[in-house]
Amino acid sequence: MTAHDARLHAFRSDLADARLKGEVVADRFVAGRPARISAPVADVRKAPRPDAGVNTQLLFGDDVLVFEVAEGWAWIQAERDGYVGYVADTMLGGREHAPTHAVMVPRTFLYPGPDLRFPIAGQLSMGATVTVTGAAETRGTAYAILPSGETIIAGHLRPIGDVAADYVAVAETFLGTPYLWGGASGFGIDCSGLVQLAMRMAGRNVLRDSDMQAASIGEPLEPGPDYAGLRRGDLVFWKGHVAVMTDSDTMIHANGHTMLVSREGLKDAIARIGYLYGGPTGFRRP
């Protein structure tokens, strides 16, 4: 990371965040307009084009600052982790209702009313935040009612601030989830997205990309001979990759080898990954 990493600071030659005035050079400085992600998952792209690469994703209810809207694209910065990029402007809404609950399971459905037999109206990922305005019960199943009138299974939500005790246990609920470059949701996720979302559900906001995480999460760790000093929750980094130790020998990671979130023995992974990308570049204990 640099002092003004463009992934974490909104600046271009023609336009920049007003908070950066005096620190960067730009033709014009503007204050970000508050908005909120209104789509289940919003791809955050490198450039304002549908064929531009996806750097990360934001979830329903995530707050953002909008610096520019032009030709169907909004240049935004996520308030939770500071990530900057472009999203389709149709994925933005206002902040009329303060979120009260977060989705606590990898994926869940929205229904047009309090009945699981209704055709679904949408779906949300773990980490999405919603405003619960009421409750209903049908045939013994409890539903939370949203401002739109849509409902969600009440047992799939937790109140904002009610966090998981073990981020590794959260990560383990994603086993079998498809790997997706830039993915940060229960529908598809990458290695650093898994770390970030699992830690978020345990009440800890961390940066998005693996190089950022390798420089900022917890403390550097010397694993010792034969990696015997590692324990559950420790992070193992390679260039462009991160995995979470589930015990002293095994790790969980979203990976392009299986194209899934999967378990793998640490030593097996080191041997496999080393063939193409070299050995681990570091270890950290959150």
Please tell me the distance from the alpha carbon of residue 39 to that of residue 208, in angstroms, as a whole number: 20
Mean per-residue pLDDT for 80-94?
98
Residue 275 is predicted with a pLDDT of 86
- Looking up residue 263, the CATH number of its domain turns out to be 3.90.1720.10
Q: Are residues 142 and 172 in the same domain?
A: no
Shared domain for 145 and 215, answered yes or no, is no
- Quick one: pLDDT at residue 226? 94
The percentage of residues in the chain with a pLDDT greater than 70, rounded to a whole number, is: 99
Q: What is the mean pLDDT of residues 201-221?
A: 98
> Residue 137 has what pLDDT?
98
Token pair of 267, please? 């030593």
* 27, 89: one domain: yes
Q: Are 194 and 125 in contact (CB under 8 A)?
A: no
Percentage with pLDDT > 90 across the chain:
98
- CA–chain centroid gap for 73, Å, is 21
pLDDT average, residue stretch 209-225: 97
Residue 3 has pLDDT above 80, yes or no: no
Quick one: 55 and 118 in the same domain?
no
Q: How many secondary structure helices (H) and strands (E) does the chain include?
A: 4, 25
Number of independent structural domains in the chain: 3
243 located within any domain:
yes
Give residues with Cβ within 8 angstroms of 92, minimum separation 6: 35, 36, 37, 38, 64, 66, 74, 76
Could you tell me if residue 273 is inside a domain? yes
54 in a domain, yes or no?
yes
What is the rounded CA–CA span in Å between residue 172 and residue 266?
Answer: 16
Report the CATH number at residue 53: 2.30.30.40
Instruction: Examine the pLDDT at 170 and tell me if it is beyond 80.
Output: yes
- Cα distance between residue 127 and residue 222, in whole Å: 32
168 CB-near residues (< 8 Å, 6+ apart): 198, 232, 233, 244, 245, 246, 252
Count of CB atoms within 10 A of residue 239's CB?
14
Whole-number Å distance between alpha carbons of 163 and 160: 8
Residues 81 and 48 in one domain: yes
Residue 7 lies in a domain: no
Q: Is residue 266 part of a domain?
A: yes
Shared domain for 33 and 111, answered yes or no, is no
Q: Quote the tokens at residue 210.
A: 């693996």
Q: Can you tell me the mean pLDDT for 12-40?
A: 98
236 and 202 in one domain? yes
**pLDDT, average across residues 250-268:** 98
* 144: containing domain: 101-159
Q: How far is the C-alpha of 113 from the C-alpha of 139, rounded, in Å?
A: 13
Q: What is the mean pLDDT of residues 41-67?
A: 98
Residue 232 neighbours by CB distance under 10 Å? 13
Give the pLDDT band of residue 1 (cuts 50, 70, 90).
very low
220 and 183 in a common domain = yes
pLDDT over 50 (residue 73): yes
Is residue 2 very low, low, confident or very high in pLDDT (cuts 50, 70, 90)?
low
Domain termination site, one of 50, 76, 93: 93
Same domain, 171 and 279: yes
* Predicted local distance difference test score (pLDDT) of residue 283: 98
> How far is the C-alpha of 56 from the C-alpha of 238, rounded, in Å?
19
Q: Is residue 278 part of a domain?
A: yes
